[in-house]
Amino acid sequence: MVTFDRSTRARFALAFGVAAVSDFASMVTEFAPPLQWAIDLATAGLLFLILGRRWALLPGLLVEAIPGMGVFPVWVLVVISLIVYDEIKVHKPAKPQVIS
């Protein structure tokens, strides 16, 4: 298992908390689409600020825009996928450089 530095773990924990609260709020507001859209836009903005410029947040926002998808924990899954991706990126061996 890869160990991230303290600030990275704190950012991922904060992002996971924001995603969990947002997914719960999305389930509660399933029948109020304008409110749900506002929650999803705010969540995408917060995750963008917490995690930085990550294009992986855009598909999460698009999936959340589909009616009825608010019952699934999409934001939590997006944050988990970013954590796993970062772990894979750290484990990836560097390519040997060919000097000519």
> pLDDT 10s digit of each residue in the chain, 100 long?
445 566 788 899 999 999 999 999 988 888 888 898 899 999 999 999 998 888 888 888 888 888 878 788 999 999 999 888 877 666 666 666 667 6
84 in a structural domain = yes
Can you say how many angstroms the Cα of residue 38 is from the centroid of all Cα atoms in its chain?
17
Number of folded domains that form the chain: 1
Distance CA 78, CA 81 (A): 5
Q: What's the pTM value of the predicted model, to 2 decimals?
A: 0.77
24 in a structural domain = yes
98 in a structural domain = no
Residue recorded with tokens 């990836």:
92
φ, ψ (nearest 5 deg) of residue 36: -65, -40
Count of residues for the chain?
100
Full domain range(s) for residue 65: 6-91
